[in-house]
Amino acid sequence: MSTLTKFSAIPYTGPAPTNRSPYLPAGVEQIDARALEIGAKIASPDLEHEAGQDMPTFVVERGKIVDALRALRDHQDLQFTLPLDLWGVDYPRRRDVGRFDVMYQLYSLKNNERVRLKVHVREDESVPTSVGVFRGYNWFEREVWDMFGIRFEGHPNLRRILCHEAFQGHALRKDYDPAQRWLLTEKDIAKIIPTIVLPREESDFEQVTLNLGPSHPATHGTLRIVVTLDGETIIGAESEIGYLHRCFEKMSETHTYQQVIPFTDRLNYCSAIINNVGYCMAVEKLLAIEAPPRAQHIRLMLSEFMRIADHIVCIGANLVDMGALTNFWYLFQPREEILGLVESCCGARLLPSYTRIGGLAVDAPSDFLSNAQRLVDKLPKYIDDVDKLVTRNRIFLDRVVGVAPITAADAINFGFTGPCLRACGVPYDVRKAQPYGGYETYDFDVPIAEAGDTNARYLVRMEEMRQSIRIIQQGIDRGLPAGPVIVNDPYVALPPKAKVYNEMESLIYHFKLIMHGIQPPVGEVYFRVEGANGELGFYVVSDGTKNPYRVRVRPPCFPIFEAYSHMIIGQTIPDAIAALGSLNIIAGELDH
């Protein structure tokens, strides 16, 4: 893999790219061997193995992609049933195989492994749609169309999804000029009224089309759901998103690796540290470094605290939507204290940007563990109180049991992860399945429920908070490991100020890092953490310069909200509101 010819679009004027050798993942032999096994099982000439990747990767010919996906999904021994992600990458200088890569990532719940498929696409070519294989790919394909202008033949509804209808061009193409501004006028608004496919026969009564959102009290954040009502029963629904689109991926391409971290805060702003950790670990994987044990320990404990905080927001807001106001404010008190703990570490509360590539920004304060212990002692009481007030309340049960259910098979087909998937009885949790950052050494259970309805999601979240408390308690009992909180690597971490002022080398390293940033080896990498909503993945492509060539985030809400409009058909408005709250759609993450 050469450096400049393949990757760079714009003539490069910055510092010389790294002369380090291209990225080679750890255990690449096993991955390649496994890839060959998978290839042999599928026994298709269309699957061409690409060696040296961090997961089994195949390059598939454009026309054969649907067959390949179906084969991987249906093969008895493989069962790649969970469509995790679909995204594009633009290499405008690549002449031989076409400019775009469309990437598919699948996960096998049976074998606990992932596979990545790549399709090379030229600018004038289109890809056959895979919605027929995985329903969840509907929105993902729309996003690729929106961002790259790659057409998906046969897609049922290939509209823009994150950008508005008056937008010209495709933003994630390397030759798109980000300085352009597109105004959405009244005339264009008429275009974005979604068409609704009515699943039922016309009834005698007049049907009403109602706009829930983008500014509606129950759509915490800016979502828009257009529903068609027969009485109060929803007979047609379509979701419209993108109101909080902030070009996270495009902005990342013009910032250094370190500068991307604050953007990740804004993804799921209810549990920002988990996003920080996910992104930093992705880059660390690319750099083949590991954060010191102390940093990992603090990261893990704060991640679990943030998970609790996120579930508190979700459950509290969900109950407010159902009219139970008290729980929201009552639960927000421990959440405030959790944020206070984060504040004691780094000074920020909601959007901490606490992690750095290679560790943490600063060390946790000396009373971190005692404060954490105080919180852990308090939290169960709050959770139990809400449990007592709500969980067996008859009105609450009538509102949630059997409301907006989704079967496990559907949930998997849509690409659900996290609590919403576990509420359907599928025990998939990244922390257990592919542990990272020390989770493998902790003792905790993954709660599941069977029903897949709003109540099940509520129960799973309640139980997950208790399991997180268990993890934190173990973390406190072990104590913080001694040592630094950031790696001692001058190409990655800033040297301490004392050294900068007193040593020539440190000053140079400091200067180089500030001016030229971290320059990881050339390559692509995917890393995932268990976010509060599900699998939060970061795919990073490096061309050896200080800026990421491409950062792709896999937001767990995205496929979940995609399924939402299917889940609420036949339900009433109050049910739809209750279900929306239980899915915990965070617009910042959804719209990246």
List of residues contacting another protein (CB under 8 A): 112, 208, 210, 216-218, 232, 319-326, 328-330, 333, 389-390, 392-399, 401-402, 422, 425, 427-429, 432-435, 445-451, 453, 455-456, 459-460, 462-463, 572-575, 577
Single out the residue of 555, 527, 430, 428 nearest to residue 116, CA to CA.
Answer: 527
Q: How far is the CB of 564 from another protein (least distance, A)?
A: 16
CA dihedral (253, 258, 262, 266) in degrees, to 10, reads 50
Q: Closest distance between another protein and the C-beta of residue 53, in Å? A: 22
Q: How far is the CB of 71 from another protein (least distance, A)?
A: 23
Residue number with CB closer to another protein (274 or 319): 319
Provide the strand spans (E) within 126-189.
126-128, 151-153
- Reported as type and span, the H/E element at residue 90 is strand 82-90
Rounded to a whole number of angstroms, the minimum distance from the CB of residue 552 to another protein is 25
Q: Nearest approach, Cβ of 588 to another protein (angstroms)? A: 20
451 versus 551: smaller Cβ distance to another protein: 451
3-state secondary structure at position 572:
strand
Q: Which CB atom, from 81 or from 434, has the smaller least distance to another protein? A: 434
The whole-angstrom separation of Cα 574 and Cα 88 is 38
Name the residue nearer to another protein (CB basis): 103 or 426.
426
- Only one residue has tokens 């709660």, namely 447
Give me the least distance between CB of 263 and another protein, in Å please.
31
How many other β-carbons are positioned within 10 Å of the β-carbon of residue 315?
A: 24
Residue 322 vs 487, nearer CB to another protein: 322
Pick the closer one to another protein by CB: 325 or 508.
325
**Closer residue to another protein, CB minimum distance, 157 or 391:** 391
Cβ atoms within 10 Å of 324's Cβ, excluding its own = 18
Closer Cβ to another protein, 47 or 465, answer by number: 465
Q: How far is CA 485 from CA 186, 438, 510, 519, in A?
A: 53, 15, 18, 21
User: Encoding tokens for residue 426?
Assistant: 């599928």
Structure tokens at 267: 């993804």
CA count, 13 A, side-chain hemisphere, 457: 36
Q: Which is nearer to another protein, 455 or 545 (CB)?
A: 455
CB atoms within 10 A of CB 191: 12
Q: Is 387 left (phi over 0), alpha (psi -120 to 50) or beta?
A: alpha
- What is the C-alpha separation between 308 and 426, in angstroms, rounded? 21
Question: Within 13 A of 446's CA, how many CA atoms are on the CB side?
Answer: 22
Residue 70: both structure tokens together: 């179906």
Comparison of 166 and 210: residue with beta carbon closer to another protein: 210
Distance between CA atoms of residues 262 and 252, nearest Å = 10
Residue 387 or residue 503: which is nearer to another protein going by CB?
A: 387
- Taking the complex as a whole, the smallest distance from the CB of residue 264 to another protein amounts, in Å, to 26
Nearest distance in Å: CB 190, another protein: 18
Which pair of structure tokens corresponds to residue 456?
Answer: 């099940």
Minimum distance of another protein from residue 55's CB (angstroms): 17
- In this structure, the chain runs to a length of 592
CB of 583 to another protein, least distance (A): 15
Instruction: Please state the closest distance from residue 563 (CB atom) to another protein, in A.
Output: 19
CB-facing half-sphere around the CA of 263: CA atoms within 13 A: 24
For 112-146, b/e burial (b = at least 16 CB within 10 A) is ebbbbbbbbbeeebbbbbbbebbbbbbbbbbbbbb
